[in-house]
Each structure stands twice: as C-alpha cells, then as structure tokens.
Chains A and B, each alone.
Chain A
C-alpha cells in the first residue's frame, strides 16, 4: 500500500468517525423523543396539555454506600420481575421562571460548538485536498493545522464555560436526593484540549519540516 493510499484511507476513517460522532447521538435523541411521545400518546396525552417551559439541567447522581448496598429504586421487567436500580444521572427541567434572564445565552454554547466543528471539518478537508495534490510541506498546511488546533482548544474552552455555567445553575437551586450526592453533570474537556495541543505540536513539527525541505532544496 502506498503512502498516498493509506493517507486516503485514514482520512476517510476520520470523516466516518467524525460523522458517526454527530449522527449517532442525534439519532438516539430523536429515537428517544419519538418513543417518549408514543408512550405519552398511548397514555392519553393529547399534546394540548400545558408543558413546562424550562431548561434541562443535567445532574450527576453519585450513590452513597448505603444506596449501593440497598438500592431504594427499582424497575419492573416485562415478565413482572422487580429489579433494583441505582441512578447515575438525571436531567431536571428547571422552569424558565426560576432561571436568571442571562441563562438564555447558554443556548449559544451548542451552536458555537457546531460552528467550531464545521471549521475543523472544512480545514481538515482542505488539508487532505492539498495532500492529495502532493502539496504536503507547504505553509498553507501549517496554517490549516494551526487553525484546527485552535478550534479544538476553543471547543474545550466553550465546553468548560458550559460546565461552569451548569455548576453555577446547580448552586442556584438546592436539589435533594435521598441516598445520593448530587452535582452538576460535566467533565473537564481533557480529550479536546489534548487533541488540540497535539495538533498544535504537529503544526510546529510540520513548519520545521518545511524549513528542512527548503534548506535541502537550496543546497547545491
């Protein structure tokens, strides 16, 4: 297999993984919503009921040792068998009336992430296009790699801000859960930050490679 072929295959693989990472969670969300509405209609919901206008605040439920040993909640299987469950996370629909007015800005976080993701995808495609034309060690590719890394680091910061906002919102309300320690559900975006820094390092190595190539070309 030639170098070019393996680059093509790896690029397609990256695009597939990137596509699946967007499509699969969206598909799952649509499926869950659809199933939820179906169950609602079956149980007599007409769609005209008053729905609470609110914002979903994801919460992390950490069970206490007592709850782990003797779970208080349970679900029933199709055959009627009752089994205990331990809750890991929940989403609380906080009524908008209870939220500070500025929280509307938090809705910008997801579109902002999608915009940055679109920039990454676009720059990656341009980079691969350059490589396919055998324009590998050129300044333009260093620029693309730097832009990709900055976008990845920006995504990490956007996620961090989103997480801190969730922490703040969590602090506004006091949630009580018997047998659980409750906290805002978010993790520090290590993976995005790490990939961003690695991409930045790659860009610097690329720039060094260009310098070596130019020196080589100007050696008579």
Chain B
C-alpha cells in the first residue's frame, strides 16, 4: 500500500513506548501494533485525533503517501 505509517518514527521522537501510548489512547497494544506495522487497512478520525493529541503532532507526521 502506498500509504506509509510513520508512527514508530514519531513515537521515537517523543520517546514514548507502544505500551504507554496504547494505555493513554485507551486501545490494546496489539491494535496499536497493527497500525504501527502498517497492517491496518483503515484508521478512524478519532484514533488519528487521539494520536496527534498525545504525540503533539499533525496527521501528516503520522501518515505519508509514497507512490509505488
């Protein structure tokens, strides 16, 4: 898929672990892992809002389009 999820990059910048982020977002670490590893097929606006709010970033910092 040409949409790249840069969640791991943003988490590293903010020095936040997967467990901590998932706990603050109120979702399971396995679900967040699906998003982080790029296996997710869709992302809800509410999830994106929550990530941006906790990591203090913009949606474009998390998602990137790269032509195949």
Contacts and interface: CB of A to CB of B under 8 A. Distances in A.
The reply to whether chain A is a binding partner of chain B is yes
Interface of A: 214-215, 218-220
20 contacts: A214-B41, A215-B42, A218-B39, A218-B40, A218-B41, A218-B42, A219-B40, A219-B41, A219-B42, A219-B43, A219-B44, A220-B27, A220-B31, A220-B32, A220-B34, A220-B35, A220-B40, A220-B42, A220-B44, A220-B47
B56 to A, nearest CB: 20
Contacts of B43: 219-220
Nearest to B48: A220
A218 B5 CA distance: 14
Contacts of A220: 27, 31-32, 34-35, 40, 42-44, 47
User: Do most interface residues of chain A lie in helix, strand or loop, or is the interface mixed?
Assistant: mixed
B31 to A, nearest CB: 5
Contacts of A218: 34, 39-42
Interface of B: 27, 31-32, 34-35, 39-44, 47
B54 to A, nearest CB: 14
Contacts of B34: 218, 220
A219 B44 CA distance: 7
Nearest to B5: A220
B3 to A, nearest CB: 13
Given A219-B41, A219-B43, A220-B44, 10 more contacts: A214-B41, A215-B42, A218-B42, A219-B40, A219-B44, A220-B27, A220-B31, A220-B34, A220-B40, A220-B43
